[in-house]
Structure 1
Amino acid sequence: MERSRAILLPGSVLPAGPAYDALLAALGPGADAVAKDLELYAGDSPPGDWSLDTEVDGTLREADARGWDTFHLVGYSGGGAAALAFTARHPERLLSLALLEPAWAGNWDWSPAHARLWKQYEELDALPPEQFMPAFMRLGVKPSVVLPPPGDAPPWMAKRPAGIRAFLQSFRTYDLDRRRLEEFRRPVLFALGALSNPDDYGEVAQRLSGVFPDFRLEVFAERHHFDPPHRIEPARLAGMFLDHWARAERIAAEGQ
């Protein structure tokens, strides 16, 4: 039996390995899945012309190098925004889409609360490096969530503030084609942490539920954006993914 082929895109902080190692292990032999690092961090600093399309093109190269005409795509946070951009540009390559709290989902139909939150994200740009990451993380969760104090930063963390700023800049100007997303008929799974900021990821889930024709929301009651299910509850999420992918493959085989 052929294994489900999937590409997993990480967020703007953790590299793909530590982000997805536990999930890949939980998926086991039923999946041929690869965790792909972001193009954003291929060099010492973000390329001057980087945009979400850079990640789209990198994902396409990864699939082509593996000989995958079609595959499942998973994206978390910034990688989720890139996965949405990929879906709009290359829907014919995807069997399904899975979104783990995408950091952004287009600039249409924002509520006033979501617009205020994004104003706060824009204000992060003025902060010095030592304040940037704590303030960025605080915006992503409910006020009641206690975030861990900063520890010793690994070497790759030095690239992250500039990378996050590059994402935020691309979000301001990128044209995510809503019509193309509405035409995507394959299954879409959205995993949401109940402790994440509802004006951010909760609103994104609600908006996308009205865009994708085949949309399923799964809520993880004890999770938030910075202790996500792919790291903390990998077995549960792996089971969801395997079911999601099997259903998508049945739909594709039936020519729907």
Structure 2
Amino acid sequence: MNIMKINQHTKIAKLIQHNVQSIDAIASIAKPFQNLKNPILRKLLATRVSIMEASKIGHCQLSRFKEVLEPLGFIWEDAEADVKEESPLPEPDWLAGHTIQDMDVRPMIKAGNDPLKDIITAYKNLAEGEILCIINDFNPFPLISRLEKMGAKSYIKKVEDELFYCYFLKAQQLNEPEIQKSAENPAFISDVDFIERLEKLDPEKLFSIDVRELPMPQPMETILAHTANLKPDEVLFVQHKKVPLYFLEDLASYKLQVYISEFKANDVKLLVSRLK
């Protein structure tokens, strides 16, 4: 077994790079870590978050990480001293003199709900020059990246160990074509959006496969075999038991666009087409 020494300051990305099984192991600790199974969120979250920061996100003890990671070949060694935190950045000039709308998402997260959609809606409803302040008990790294892509300016203020004020200034309204151009690939969408997109497709240009009962690695092989001859105006509808991580992480080399939705446990659906 390949051994790696870790501590509370080790980045989640380092764990995954060393052993991909750590994704499922960490996801089993708490509901927020299920996001690690989403390739997009994993790229946003894992590269920036340490084990200690993740424990705050999941409201769990560091010992839980030790319990699930040691069987995978990780050796836990507590850091002798905490890594010195960077000095807080000065407040930006734009924080003063603008209307600020507060949004405390802690109750939603505590109830097990994902506040992302509500946050995005609240940000979109801002007038240019207004500020949305997200109140949270951890630094929401993925949210920062998401809103900055929409033109937001951000400033994170750590009030105390488990209290963060996250300010987002709506400084620029991106038009619809720009948003479409910067869309993520793969695009994770809701089941409702997925069905609507599916129903708009030309049945004569739509091909379906079901890989749910195939043993590994046949699902990926089957998808690749069917996409190899796809024409630019054709779409492959795939029914899968889980998110095909390895396939999604190498989309650029396949030159494919993928829309994906997790309808329920063991029911994942994909729409795959050629990049135009």
* TM-score (normalizing by structure 1): 0.26
The structure with more radius of gyration:
2
Name the one with the larger strand percent.
Answer: 2
* TM-score (normalizing by structure 2): 0.25
Name the one with the larger helix percent.
Answer: 1
